[in-house]
Structure 1
Amino acid sequence: MMSGKEQGSLEIIVSECDEAIRWSEHGYPSMLARWHHHPEIEIHLIREGSGFMMAGDAMVPFHEGQVFMLGPNLPHNWISNLDAGQALAERDVLCQVHPNRLNALIRVFPEASRLYGLLRRSERAIALDGQSAAKAARLLEKMGRCVGFDKLIVLLNLLQVFADAPTDEWSCVVTPGYDCNVASNSERRINTVLSYIEEHLSEDVSLQTVAREISMSGPAFSRFFKQSAGVSFSDMVRRLRVAKACRLLDSTNYGISRIQAECGYVNTANFNRRFRQETGMTPSEYRRRHR
């Protein structure tokens, strides 16, 4: 049995010897797209696709063009809504910098004192939208073409976009008081569970069945999953089912009864209730609005 609160595996960020800012990009699925954490602050752009973003104890929808800022050691992952065999070649672009570098900047330059509040907010994962997200996205893309001093200037401009964003263009998604300073042995198990759920969404995905997949008892698995993923197992299954329903409503002409079945719902009333709980509208309303 695993004890204490768990989070994803530690990712070791290796930068070049003459730089403190690491920029990278990758597709999805990818070995880099998993439940993990690292001591660096990360600014992350979703170039394409939609799905659910997990950070700490939060699980929220994400969409193309959205930009996030994640504080140090905050476990996170983005799960895209994809059909079997589908892939996104260049889904993610991101930069990472250790908070000690930014704290040193704040100590030396009083003009940078605004960053202190921003770094504290990033501990709860900042989601950026609207014009602020568009500006941040352009800067992140530009950073990939920069070296040396130019890369630092772009980073400072990026931080300014987050600091200046109007209140209707940013939000923190992690619960206040969430403690990410915890053990880090759960990556293999939590990622095995997420893969199993996604592969069996049209079936009866029971807690006991999934617990056996990772050789845990039902009660131990229930505690482990809630501590690791930030939501209960049943909440995760429901959200992934609704995410799949949203994708099918948006991208196919399937009837709602077929979509309901493909997402593992036998009872129509239950499907409608769960769908409204996650999206605030019925499946029919969702399809009309997104078409």
Structure 2
Amino acid sequence: MSARPADSPRNAHHPGSGSLEVIVPEDDAAIRWSCHGYPNSLAKWHYHPQIEIHLIREGSGQFMAGDGLTPFEPGHVAMVGPNLPHNWLSDTIPGERLPNRDVLCHVRPQTIRRLFSIFPETAGLERVLRRSQQAIVLSGEAAAAAGELLVSMGEHIPARRVADLISLLSIFDQASAEESRTVVTPDYNPDTAVGAETAINSAIAYISSNLDDASLEQAARAASMSTSTFSRFFKTVAGIGFSDFVCRLRIGRACRLLTTTTMPIARIQRLSGYANASNFNRRFLAETGMTPSRYRKTHSGR
């Protein structure tokens, strides 16, 4: 695929609304398609008025959307509604790059609704837009079909991308309940994220760089807050407590090391930030439903 380089969104500050990503469509097109690697300045906790359809091609980690947090692997496809804060946080070791991680497209919901008014046949897709407010994640054949279409969109002329978009929305609409789920609770209020971008991204950057010994006190310092204020702030905005968030990331790292290396489990335990084997095993079992040794055998055959 001869992919175009990613566009360069600009950050703008609007009084009372915090900083948000301003996405400029290329060539005055209504649909913006792009791709990029990780780490990347575009890969951060943010929000924007466009709907985003997103494919992860490499790496594993945690998908953050509103107050939802769920693991992702290659082939993960999601649709994120307008102004819903989101981020894909890959588990990488220092210096590691994932050059082809992300493929995505953006379109304003108003654009899609105009399509409904012109072509009544597409009016049923309105429910997809409503569900996107809770972030839709596909799996199975639906994810495979959507991912393939999203990649091929990069090779198509703008007119063809309109047809691609309708096909993508149709996949989300027609996916079975087993292959389509939402990750944000119905009562989540996106307004809680307004103005929180800098503090959340500073905390996430600190945690990612110090996962083996991340502390609430240091994360609060990175976010320029007192410990108690930061603890409440993080739970409100991210939808998960600080210690639970760190635990998810640590167990995610352990899962990756168990399936991609032959390291002894004791070493993986230490690299994942657990000095105590029993605590590591208990946390791992709670998150995955398996012991570390069983997980390795099940997922890698080692």
TM-score, structure 1 as length reference? 0.93
Partner of 1:131: 141
Instruction: Identify the residue that residue 280 of structure 2 maps to in structure 1.
Output: 271
Root-mean-square deviation (Å) = 1.7
Instruction: Give the corresponding residue for 1:120.
Output: 130
Alignment partner, residue 5 of structure 2: none
Within 2, Cα distance between the matches of 1:255 and 1:165? Answer: 40
Taking a change above 3 Å as real, the CA distance of residues 249 and 8 of structure 1, as seen in their structure-2 partners, is: farther
Deviation for aligned residue 1:160: 0.8
Alignment of 1:89 onto 2:94: no
| Superposed displacement of residue 93, structure 1 | 0.5
Of 185, 189, 209, 2:218 maps to 209
Q: Matched residue of 1:49: which SS?
A: coil
| 2:127 is aligned with 1:107 | no
Matched, 1:146 2:156: yes
1:224 matched to 2:233? The reply is: yes
- What do the CA deviations read for 1:72-106 (whole angstroms, capped 9, x no partner)? 01101111121221101111010010001112222
Q: Is the 8 Å Cα contact of residues 192 and 237 (structure 2) preserved in structure 1?
A: no
SS at match of 1:43: strand
The alignment covers a number of residue pairs equal to 285
TM-score by length of 2: 0.90
Counterpart selection for 1:66 from 66, 76, 79: 76
Between the aligned partners of 2:217 and 2:95, the Cα distance in structure 1 is: 28
The structural deviation recorded for 1:183 is: 5.0
Say which SS state the counterpart of residue 113 (structure 1) adopts: helix
How far apart are 1:17 and its partner, in Å? 5.0
- Structure 1 distance, partners of 2:140, 2:297, is 23
Q: Provide the rounded CA distance (Å) in 2 between the counterparts of 1:46 and 1:241.
A: 20
User: Bigger relative contact order, structure 1 or 2, given CA contacts below 8 A and separation 6+?
Assistant: 1
Q: Which runs of 5+ in 2 are unaligned?
A: 1-15
- Asked if structure 2 preserves the Cα contact closer than 8 Å seen for 1:50 and 1:64, the reply is yes
Measure, in 1, the Cα distance between the counterparts of 2:141 and 2:126: 23
CA distance in 2, matches of 1:244, 1:16: 37
Aligned-residue sequence identity (percent) comes to 53
For 1:236, the aligned partner's letter is F
Q: Is the 8 A contact 1:41 1:97 kept in 2?
A: yes
- Residue 180 of structure 2 is matched in structure 1 by 170
- Alignment-derived partner of residue 181 in structure 1: 191
Structure 1 partner of 2:57: 47
Deviations 1:115-138 (Å, cap 9, x if unpaired)? 111111111111111111111111
For residue 9 of structure 1, report the CA deviation from its aligned partner. Answer: 4.0
Letter in 2 for 1:223: R
Call closer, same or farther: CA 1:178–1:164 in 2, change over 3 Å: same
**Residue matched to 1:3:** none
Contact 2:192 2:236 in 1 (8 A): no
Q: 1:287 aligns with which of 289, 293, 296?
A: 296
Which ranges in structure 1 are unaligned for 5 or more consecutive residues? Answer: 1-5
Letter of the aligned partner of 2:167 in structure 1? Answer: N
For residues 125-152 of structure 1, give each alpha carbon's deviation from its aligned partner in whole angstroms, at most 9, with x where no partner exists.
Answer: 1111111111111111111111232110
Structure 2 Cα separation of the partners of residues 268 and 286 of structure 1: 16
2:154 counterpart letter in structure 1: G
Residue aligning to 2:10:
none
Is contact 2:60-2:72 (8 Å) kept?
yes
How far apart are the structure 2 equivalents of 1:250 and 1:16? 40
Match of 2:24 in 1: 14
Distance 1:52 1:63, change over 3 A: same
- After superposition, the C-alpha distances for 1:231-275 in whole angstroms (9 at most, x for unaligned) are 111111101111111111112222212211121212222211111
